Structure 1
Amino acid sequence: MTLPRLALATVSLCLLAGAPAARAADEVVLKVHHFLPAGSYAQQMFIQPWCDKIAKESANRMRCQIYPSMQLGGTPQQLVDQVKDGVVDVVWTLSGYTAGRFPLTEVFELPFMMRSPEATSKALWDYVQQSALQEYKGMQPIALHVHGPGVFHMTGKPIQTRADLKGLKVRAPTRQTNRFLAVLGATPVAMPVPQVSEALSKGVIDGAVVPYEVMPSAKIQEIAKFHSETDPAEPALYTSTFMFVMNKGRYEGLPADLKKVIDANSGQALSGQIGKVFTAADAEGKKLTGRNAVNVIPAAELAGWKKAAEPVVEQWVTEVGAKGADGRQLLNNARALIAKHAGG
Structure 2
Amino acid sequence: MFRKMLGAAMAVAVMGGASGADAQEVTLKVHHFLGPQAPQHAAVLAPWCDKLAKESNDKLKCQIFPAMQLGGTPPQLYDQARDGIADVILVLAGYAANRFPRMEVFELPFMMTNAEATSRAAWDYQETLAKDEFAETKLLATFVHGPGNIYTTKKKIEKLDDFKGLKLRAPTRQTNKLLAMMGASPVGMPVPAVPEAISKGVIDGAVIPYEVAPAIKMNELVKHTAETDRSYNALYTAVFLVAMNKAKYDSLPADLKKVLDANSGGEVSGMFGKAMLAADAPAKEKMLASGVEINVIPAAELDKWKKASDALDDAWVKDMDAKGFDGKKLLQSAQDLTKKYTK
TM-score, normalization: structure 2? 0.92
- Residue 26 of structure 1: CA displacement? 2.5
- Residue 213 of structure 1: CA displacement? 0.3
- Residue 225 of structure 1: CA displacement? 1.2
1:185 to 179, 183, 186: 183
- Residue 185 of structure 1: CA displacement? 0.3
The corresponding residue for 1:62 is 60
CA distances 1:26-49 after superposition (whole Å, capped 9, x unpaired): 321100000111122221111011
The corresponding residue for 1:42 is 40
The corresponding residue for 2:208 is 210
- Residue 276 of structure 1: CA displacement? 0.8
CA distances 1:97-139 after superposition (whole Å, capped 9, x unpaired): 0000000000000000011111110000000000001111121
The corresponding residue for 1:333 is 333
Q: Within 5 Å, give how 1:159-238 maps onto structure 2.
A: 159-238=157-236
Q: Within 5 Å, give how 1:292-331 maps onto structure 2.
A: 292-331=292-331
Identical columns (%): 54
CA distances 1:65-89 after superposition (whole Å, capped 9, x unpaired): 1000000000111101110111110
The corresponding residue for 1:13 is none
Contact 1:112 1:235 in 2 (8 A): yes
CA distances 1:222-244 after superposition (whole Å, capped 9, x unpaired): 10110001111110000000011
1: distance between equivalents of 2:38 and 2:174? 25
5+ unaligned residues in a row in structure 2: which ranges? 1-19
DSSP-derived class of the 2:131 partner: helix
The corresponding residue for 1:261 is 259
CA distances 1:255-304 after superposition (whole Å, capped 9, x unpaired): 11110010000111111111111111011110111221100111111111
- Residue 253 of structure 1: CA displacement? 1.6
Contact 2:24 2:253 in 1 (8 A): no
DSSP-derived class of the 1:158 partner: coil
Runs of 4+ residues deviating >6 angstroms: none
- Stretch deviating more after TM superposition (61-70 or 40-49): 40-49
2: distance between equivalents of 1:297 and 1:39? 29
The two structures, once aligned, show a CA RMSD in angstroms of: 1.5
CA distances 1:287-327 after superposition (whole Å, capped 9, x unpaired): 11122110011111111111111111111111111111001
Equivalent AA in structure 2 for residue 81 of structure 1: D
The corresponding residue for 2:88 is 90
2: distance between equivalents of 1:248 and 1:182? 38
DSSP-derived class of the 1:26 partner: coil
TM-score, normalization: structure 1? 0.92
- Residue 158 of structure 1: CA displacement? 1.4
1:156 to 144, 154, 157: 154
2: distance between equivalents of 1:79 and 1:217? 20
Contact 1:108 1:241 in 2 (8 A): yes
Matched residue pairs, number? 323
